[in-house]
Structures are given as C-alpha cells and as structure tokens.
Amino acid sequence: MDFGKKLTSILAERGITKAYMARRLDISPQLFQHITRQRDVKLTMAVRIANILELTVYDFLVDDNGR
C-alpha cells in the first residue's frame, strides 16, 4: 500500500479530516490533499504526519497484515 492510501485509510478509521491535518501541519488543504494522492512523500513530511497521528513512519510502510 502506498503512503497516500495508507494515510487516507488511517484518517478515515480515526474520523480525522484532511482539513484538520492541514491545519496541524500548517499547510494548505490543497497541499495536504495532494499528499494523500502520493505514493511517496519526503521523509520529513512523513515524520510530521506520523507524529501528529502518534504513529511511527514504519506504520505507513507495512500493510494491515504487518507485512
């Protein structure tokens, strides 16, 4: 699973909006929307997103079965 799909899935599971994430990251909603459509993102952005969601970057690298 790519980063954007995994991120979108996590947000949906937690009931977190993309607008909320954009505000927390101090970026535009359009930029965050773009991030959710990406297969890969820069490590610094992945770390920032993971920190907000209280996850690790590793959580975005494994599928739901731990692979």
* Tokens of residue 64, six digits: 């739901």
Q: Can you give the residue range of the structural domain that contains 46?
A: 3-61
Average pLDDT over residues 33-58: 95
Q: Classify residue 62 by its DSSP letter.
A: S
Q: Classify residue 39 by its DSSP letter.
A: S
Kindly report the CATH number assigned to the domain that includes residue 44.
Answer: 1.10.260.40
Q: What's the pLDDT band for 53 if we cut at 50, 70, 90?
A: very high
Per-residue pLDDT, 64: 66
Residue 25, Cβ density class (10 Å: 0-12 exposed, 13-18 middle, ≥19 buried): middle
Question: For residue 28, is it within any domain?
Answer: yes
Residue 67 has pLDDT above 80, yes or no: no
Question: For residue 66, is it within any domain?
Answer: no
Question: For residue 10, is it within any domain?
Answer: yes
The count of structural domains within the chain is: 1
Residue 66 has pLDDT above 60, yes or no: no
Per-residue pLDDT, 62: 80
